[in-house]
Amino acid sequence: MPLKIHIGPAGNCISARGGTIDSFKRLIELNLNAQEIEFVRGVWMTNSMAQRVGNAAKEMGIKLSIHAPYYINLCNPEKLRASEKRIMDSCERAYHLGARVVVFHPGYYGKLSESEALENVIDACKEMSKTLDKKRIRNVFLGLETTGKKSQFGTLDEIIEICEKVKHCTPVIDFAHIYARNGGKIDYKKIFDKVKVLRSKFLHAHFSSIEFTDKGEKRHIPVSNNEPDFRELAKEILKREVDITIICESPLLEKDASIMKNIFEDLGYKFD
């Protein structure tokens, strides 16, 4: 299998006039090939709409993923039920959309120790993993995102440990978040080395530049700020032949996704 790179925006293209399918048409014009459907404020799509949108994406060769609602906290037992439901509703839509990864931020440490929070998230993921099997939702992965604030659960090590222990879990590497959490440092080589233990056939990722404080992430900013540097990441991906989907979370969405695509082309990769 040749190396496959997918790049696209987090949500509908800013330059698209109508809804999700119009956004796909715009992606085709821009020669981009992925989009994350945003359920961040709620799962707004019905299953039948998901099927329709999914068929259109398939015809146009657009790789889909979903971002589940922000209001999720698997660390806190009081929020657990509602959180799991939001993720499982997203997984059901993902199944109908043909989307492979349902991305979510696992939660906040709150008063818990790091190891207590980890145990809680592992238990919750095991529950959801069983539900996926029970509902026969195949080819949909629980995508645990590396988070940007130090108060949030989700260092790279925590996420990898869960993915090692629980079926149907995959890491979502948000490079900007890792950079912000590390106070403006990132070692791409080390990240790919760590992820290798999972022997995953693909990797789902988020990218943008980012502003941060000593507490971590402040806000996502355009890729041109080079914080972190995309070219170095692209080189590492090509060198390691990682089958990767990169979702652009900069405020400029498809414009910056195109910049990222151009950098890959500049380095010799050909999008078909």
The 171-190 site mask, x for binding Zn ion (CB under 5 A), equals: ---x----------------
Rounded to whole angstroms, the Cα distance separating 242 from 271 reads: 15
* Minimum distance, C-beta of residue 172 to Zn ion, in the bound complex (Å): 7
* Minimum distance, C-beta of residue 174 to Zn ion, in the bound complex (Å): 4
Stretch that binds Zn ion, among 41-49, 199-207, 232-240, 258-266 (CB under 5 A): 199-207
Residues 6 or more apart whose CB falls under 8 angstroms from that of 234 comprise 260, 263, 264, 267, 269
Q: Residue length, the chain?
A: 272
Residue 206 binding Zn ion, by CB under 5 A: yes
In the complex with Zn ion, the residue whose CB is nearer, 128 or 172, is 172
With CB under 5 A as the rule, give the number of residues binding Zn ion: 2
Q: Report the first-to-last Cα separation within the chain, whole angstroms.
A: 14
- 210, 176 Cβ separation under 8 angstroms: yes
Rounded to whole angstroms, the Cα distance separating 140 from 94 reads: 7
- 207, 175 Cβ separation under 8 angstroms: yes
- 230, 197 Cβ separation under 8 angstroms: no
Q: Which amino acid is at 198?
A: L
Closest CA to 221 of 209, 231, 232, 229: 209
* Minimum distance, C-beta of residue 268 to Zn ion, in the bound complex (Å): 27
In the complex with Zn ion, the residue whose CB is nearer, 13 or 172, is 172
Q: Which amino acid is at 68?
A: A
Q: Which residue is nearest to Zn ion (CB)?
A: 206
> Quick one: 202 exposed, middle or buried, by C-beta within 10 A (0-12, 13-18, 19+)?
middle
Stretch that binds Zn ion, among 19-27, 79-87, 166-174, 264-272 (CB under 5 A): 166-174
Residue 149 binding Zn ion, by CB under 5 A: no
Residue 261 binding Zn ion, by CB under 5 A: no
Stretch that binds Zn ion, among 19-27, 42-50, 149-157, 202-210 (CB under 5 A): 202-210
Stretch that binds Zn ion, among 18-26, 85-93, 124-132, 170-178 (CB under 5 A): 170-178
* Minimum distance, C-beta of residue 237 to Zn ion, in the bound complex (Å): 17
Question: Residues in the site for Zn ion, rule: CB under 5 A?
Answer: 174, 206
